[in-house]
Chains A and B, each alone.
Chain A
Amino acid sequence: MVAILSDCRHSYNLDFMVPYNPFSLEGKTILVVGASSGIGQSTAIECSKLGAHLVIVGRNIERLNAALSQMEGDGHSAIPCDITNDEQLTSLVETLSKLDGIVLSAGQSMTLPTMFSTRKKFDGVFDVNFFAPVELMRLLCKSKKLQSPSSAVFVTSIAGTHLWRPGHAVYGSSKAALDAMIHYFAIELGHKQIRVNAVCPGMVETPLIYSNGVITKEQMEADRKNYPLERYGQPTDIAHAIIYLLSDASSWVTGHSLVVDGGITAK
């Protein structure tokens, strides 16, 4: 038995018989905003499988409860909140206890040519994709709810940083602004050991990409074939990159935008 155990020593901590896993989220409390669907929901579920306690936030309590029902482990909670509403946002921050990580994944898509991209259209998308997550991050830091050390992960998009396709100006600009902000947060919060990074996805199979119907299924099928890995991403592809940035495996990573895109920006 001793011989067998010593053979396993390279991969197991025998003191506690806990499998070696630098990506573990065991014991961490993580807030996921935008957890009622898509990337946010998948991230919450995957984090729960790695031992985290989750606080999930979204606008619709029924959809949040549906996400809760798919999560593993105990001690999770769901808080309905529209983060674009200042009062609800303030109340959310007051409700929260200390956090080891946050994931900001609430987002709104828009497909619109530049000639129709009025100030009003920009305002609506920027409220959801930029101002709300940035304000939440600010409030969490000011109230010291984000512990030292902790990790914040924002979900951006290659439409804001790498790939300029017709119709994505409003959405892409909001994500570009968010991408800039993660760098400013990172340099100003580093001394508190609060790491701030982004995961920057290509097209991912979520309700968001089908939400307006401007792009037809045939166009999407052709676009999928454009990707070197010949498919769009699955929400778990993005969730796993987020988990890397939440975990201690990325302890020396901050101010980074991690592209996860099936290779499309390598073309």
Chain B
Amino acid sequence: MELDKFIANFAEQLDDTDPAEIKADTIFRQLDEWSSLSVMCTIAMVDAEYGVALKGDDINKAQTVEDLFNVVKSKKA
């Protein structure tokens, strides 16, 4: 599981944010377009791409995209 690929998958769920702006240390909650629908899309993306069932709370606890990557990685292990 690669971080770069995860960041690209994460960025793909956003509509108004330039994918180049999304980095490992991006605090995703501070993105202008972040919403409850973004949470659902992220959960659905992680399920489809990694076969991991994230919960809303997993996303609440994470700050950065890399935090989220680590959660998914640990659940996949």
Contact = CB atoms under 8 A, between A and B. Distances in A.
Contacts of B60: 216, 218
Interface residues of B, number: 15
Contacts of A252: none
A113 B12 CA distance: 14
Contacts, number: 39
Main secondary structure of the interface of A (DSSP, over half): loop
**Residue among A113, A215, A218 having the largest count of chain B Cβ atoms under 10 Å:** A113
Contacts of B57: 213, 216-217
A155 B60 CA distance: 33
A111 B41 CA distance: 10
B43 interface: yes
Interface string B17-58: 000000000000000000011011101110110000101110
10 contacts: A112-B44, A113-B44, A115-B44, A116-B41, A166-B37, A167-B40, A213-B56, A213-B57, A214-B55, A219-B36
Given A213-B55, A214-B55, 7 more contacts: A111-B40, A112-B40, A112-B44, A113-B41, A116-B41, A214-B56, A219-B36
